[in-house]
Chains A and B, each alone.
Chain A
Amino acid sequence: NAGVTQTPKFQVLKTGQSMTLQCAQDMNHNSMYWYRQDPGMGLRLIYYSASEGTTDKGEVPNGYNVSRLNKREFSLRLESAAPSQTSVYFCASISMRLAGSNEQFFGPGTRLTVL
Chain B
Amino acid sequence: ELKVEQNPLFLSMQEGKNYTIYCNYSTTSDRLYWYRQDPGKSLESLFVLLSNGAVKQEGRLMASLDTKARLSTLHITAAVHDLSATYFCAVVETSGSRLTFGEGTQLTVNP
Contact = CB atoms under 8 A, between A and B. Distances in A.
Which range holds the interface residue count of chain A?
20 to 34
Interface residues of B, number: 19
Chain B CB within 10 A, most for which of A33, A35, A90, A106: A106
Interface in B10-53: 31, 33, 35, 42-45, 48, 50
A108 B42 contact: yes
A94 B104 contact: no
Interface in A77-115: 90, 92, 94, 96, 98, 102-109
A42 B42 contact: no
B7 interface: no
Contact of A42 (B88, B97, B98): B88
A43 B100 CA distance: 8
B45 A104 contact: yes
Interface of A: 31, 33, 35, 41-45, 48, 50, 56, 58-59, 90, 92, 94, 96, 98, 102-109
